[in-house]
Amino acid sequence: NETITIKGKQFIILKMIGRGGSSKVYQVLDHKNQLFAVKYVNLEEADAQTVESYKNEIQHLNHLQLYSDQIIKLYDYEITNSYIYMLMECGNLDLNTWLRNRKTVTPLDRKFYWRNMLEAVHTIHSHGIIHSDLKPANFVLVNGSVKLIDFGIANTIQPDVTSIMKDSQVGTLSYMPPEAIKDTSSQPGQSRSKICTKGDVWSLGCILYCMTYGKTPFQSITNQIAKLHAIIDTSHPIEFPDISEKDLLDVLKSCLVRNPRERISLKELLDHPYLQHSP
């Protein structure tokens, strides 16, 4: 078996969990047969800005460990000029795969996972980080609770189409907030400005919508351009089929408000009646 050495500790590679263009995630075992995830990034092709973005993500991930259990654990890391190794907590399943396999979600699971996701995103927001590309693949199930695995800071290195990154939903528009599409403030070529925390609320709302109705709000629109138009078109009503959990229905309708100023805030979501009592 192949091994990886990080800060002098040897790990046996069990399998590859996922991969991007120059990043790979492995499931590994240490000498005590403890399971970990190792994220490997090849920096040989990376430009200075990309290297900087990875170092920035690691610093934040390292710091935010202290603030919430809903942030994936980072145990150690090794950065050289040619590669990065990150030794992390290993989950059982990413939320995207879990949602795809389990179309129906129990009200209890949904509420518990929603609470976890809100706590994770509230934590990064309170430290000035806006993810701006939240989707189910950014969350992983670890022993029954949901944890955030990245902050959207490191450049998602363009995956080669052959990679199994399809699991990681790179480039999906289904969770994109209207203001990001209409964002006229960013010059062409500049990365879209992460305008405000309300964008992450919209994306979280799309994830909860999927956990409620088994599909994302605009999933039926397969043409990507038509989908973008529908997301920003206030005359295109988002359907909210009636459900018994009226508090959940209210959360969904409050998150999926196209005007970010009128959209509910993360703080209000944490205080919402939907989370105050178990179903």
Ligand X SMILES: CN1CCC(Oc2ccc(-c3[nH]nc4cccc(OCC5CCCCC5)c34)cc2)CC1
What amino acid is encoded at 172 in this protein?
Answer: T
Q: Which of 28, 41, 72, 231 binds ligand X (CB under 6 A)?
A: 72
Stretch that binds ligand X, among 85-93, 193-201, 203-211, 242-250 (CB under 6 A): 85-93
Least distance in Å: CB of 259 to ligand X? 31
* 197 counts as binding ligand X under rule CB under 6 A: no
- Please give the structure tokens belonging to residue 269: 């979501």
CB atoms closer than 10 angstroms to residue 217: 23
Which residues on adjacent β-strands are paired with residue 212?
none
Backbone angles phi, psi at 72, to 5 degrees: -55, 140
* 41 counts as binding ligand X under rule CB under 6 A: no
CB atoms closer than 10 angstroms to residue 62: 14
Is 133 labeled as catalytic in the residue annotation?
Answer: yes
Rounded CA gap, 198 and 206, in Å? 13
Q: Could you give the string, one character per residue 90-129, with x where binding to ligand X holds by CB under 6 A and - elsewhere?
A: xx-xx--x--------------------------------
Which residues on adjacent β-strands are paired with residue 28?
13, 36
Nearer to ligand X, 68 or 265 (CB): 68
Least distance in Å: CB of 268 to ligand X? 29
Least distance in Å: CB of 90 to ligand X? 5
Give whole-number Cα distances, 190 to 10, 86, 150, in Å: 41, 29, 22
Nearer to ligand X, 165 or 230 (CB): 165
Q: Could you give the string, one character per residue 127-156, with x where binding to ligand X holds by CB under 6 A and - elsewhere?
A: ----------x--x--------x-------
Least distance in Å: CB of 168 to ligand X? 4
Q: Which of 6, 11, 18, 118 binds ligand X (CB under 6 A)?
A: 18
* 68 counts as binding ligand X under rule CB under 6 A: no
Least distance in Å: CB of 110 to ligand X? 20
Least distance in Å: CB of 25 to ligand X? 4
Residues for the chain: how many in total?
279
- The residues in 205-224 that bind ligand X, with binding defined as CB under 6 A, are none
Rounded CA gap, 180 and 176, in Å? 7
Q: Are 120 and 148 in contact (CB under 8 A)?
A: yes
Q: Are 224 and 170 in contact (CB under 8 A)?
A: no
Q: Which of 52, 109, 167, 250 binds ligand X (CB under 6 A)?
A: 167
Among the options 94, 133, 150, 200, which is catalytic?
Answer: 133
Q: Which of 6, 25, 58, 257 binds ligand X (CB under 6 A)?
A: 25
Residues with a known catalytic role: 133
Q: Interface residues with ligand X (CB under 6 A)?
A: 17-18, 25, 37, 39, 72, 88-91, 93-94, 97, 137, 140, 149, 167-168
